[in-house]
Amino acid sequence: MQIMMVILLILIGVLLFGFIIFFHELGHFLLAKASRIRVNEFALGMGPRVFGFKKGETQYTLRLLPIGGFCSMEGEDEESDDERAFGNKPVWRRILVVIAGGVFNIILGFILMLFMQGGQELFATNQISGFLPGSALQAAGVQEGDYLTKINGYSIYTDRDVGFALSMADPDAVQLVVKRDGKSIDLGKVKLSYETREDGTRVVQYDFRVVGVKPTPWRLIARSAADTFSMVRIVIESLKGILTGRFGLNDMAGPVGTAQVITQAAGEGLKQSFSAAVSNIIMMMIMITVNLGVVNLLPLPALDGGRLLFLIWEGITRKPVPQKYEGYIHAVGFVLLIGLMVVITGNDIFRLITGG
């Protein structure tokens, strides 16, 4: 039974990651076509070819290893005399093609957010509407009608920002800034109510309520955009946590770990209703696609952000970095990236089997 669950989770992870990766590569593909760049192959997956067909000048393939995909353009990694080669296009066009994948992932997050938010009866805000009896937040000086604007220096725009900032906060020292009657008021460091989890960590307890507003078409669009932007900020802050050592290997997840979380989220949702389960799955997909979009734009070798860095250098100096040297750097980065994915996926499987 345990083995079947592992296989099922892997399949779920592969399918969801495949869809998100397809959308990412579609961004590169469409911008390349719009820029009149020759696309030699559009592939989903890596490694040996499983299936493929050719339409026009482009080969479309499905490859064995479900760990990525690529949009291979003429003259992308080698010299080419073709006037439609990637390297023969103006720098600004190449920049648009390179960033298109990450941008498309974030756009997908926005589209999914629209779909998820569309069924809500009310949108929560960051304005306080009331307090529970004995509220620590009220004792700290927050009043009804106040807007939470900063928590430990983290700017607050939506209730999602409130949730993230409080989840990262030490309940004994939470720096609060509110807006009251149009004025910013710094309440200093305050103590908030908390609950202790089974692993001993303390998390801030919600002893307050926030104002809800009725959806309108404009509010739906604005809210979905704000929440997508909030997810981007959360990814960036989480990356900072990894770099500073706040988060470790067990806080990361690959396809298997993500599939496990999706399955758990769906199971929790089914306890309420089928629509709640679907909503939880969509939220996980939003987190994955936004995460992929942001991470892929980081200035690291083998990622789109690394290629973008070389293009910016070329735009400033008017001299491209020799392709063979850029290729070496990306190759090393790719090997390290694959190694990291193997370690994370192995850790995911270990935790799943041992129940960690």
Report yes or no on 70 lying in a domain: no
Question: What pLDDT score does 345 carry?
Answer: 66
Tell me the C-alpha distance between 161 and 70, whole Å: 34
105 and 161, same domain (yes or no): no
Question: What pLDDT score does 79 carry?
Answer: 81
Tell me the C-alpha distance between 336 and 341, whole Å: 9
Q: Which residues of 29-55 are buried (b: 16+ CB within 10 A; e: fewer)?
A: bebbeebebbbebbbbbeeeeeeeeee
209 and 221, same domain (yes or no): no
Domain termination site, one of 155, 181, 213 = 213
286 and 157, same domain (yes or no): no
229 and 142, same domain (yes or no): no
Q: Are 319 and 300 in contact (CB under 8 A)?
A: no
103 and 240, same domain (yes or no): yes
Domain termination site, one of 181, 213, 245 = 213
Q: What three-state secondary structure class fits 23?
A: helix
Question: What pLDDT score does 69 carry?
Answer: 86
Counted domains in the chain: 2
143 and 253, same domain (yes or no): no
Question: What pLDDT score does 145 carry?
Answer: 93
Report yes or no on 56 lying in a domain: no
196 and 235, same domain (yes or no): no
Report yes or no on 333 lying in a domain: yes
β-partners of residue 183 are: 180
Q: What three-state secondary structure class fits 52?
A: strand
Report yes or no on 202 lying in a domain: yes
Question: What pLDDT score does 321 carry?
Answer: 79
221 and 292, same domain (yes or no): yes
Report yes or no on 267 lying in a domain: yes
Domain termination site, one of 179, 213, 247 = 213
Distance of CA 1 to the CA centre of its chain: 32
Structural domain containing residue 146: 122-213
Write down the catalytic residue from 25, 74, 76, 326.
25
Question: What pLDDT score does 301 carry?
Answer: 82
Report yes or no on 59 lying in a domain: no
Give every CB contact of residue 115 below 8 A, 6+ residues apart in sequence: 282
pTM of the model: 0.83
Question: What pLDDT score does 54 carry?
Answer: 93
Tell me the C-alpha distance between 306 and 334, whole Å: 11
Which residue is it, tokens 């990291």? 340
Nearest-5° angle of CA 108, CA 24, CA 164?
50
Question: What pLDDT score does 350 carry?
Answer: 66
Tell me the C-alpha distance between 194 and 82, whole Å: 64
257 and 111, same domain (yes or no): yes
Please classify residue 301 by burial: count the beta carbons closer than 10 Å to its beta carbon, then call 0-12 exposed, 13-18 middle and 19+ buried. Answer: buried
Question: What pLDDT score does 13 carry?
Answer: 64
Report yes or no on 51 lying in a domain: no
Q: What is the mean pLDDT of each run of 10 residues along the chain (356 residues)?
A: 57 77 94 95 90 92 84 86 90 95 95 88 92 91 94 92 89 92 92 81 87 92 94 86 66 60 64 71 85 88 88 90 76 72 67 63
Per DSSP bridges, beta strands 183-190 and 58-73 are unpaired
Tell me the C-alpha distance between 60 and 94, whole Å: 22
Tell me the C-alpha distance between 175 and 191, whole Å: 9
State the Rg of the chain over Cα: 23
196 and 318, same domain (yes or no): no
Report yes or no on 264 lying in a domain: yes
102 and 185, same domain (yes or no): no
Q: Let me know if 78 is a catalytic residue.
A: no
Q: What is the CATH number of the domain that holds 137?
A: 2.30.42.10
205 and 116, same domain (yes or no): no
Q: CB count, 10 Å around CB of 288?
A: 23
Q: Strands, E, within the chain: which ranges?
A: 39-55, 58-73, 123-131, 147-151, 154-155, 174-180, 183-190, 194-196, 202-204, 208-213
Tell me the C-alpha distance between 80 and 85, whole Å: 6
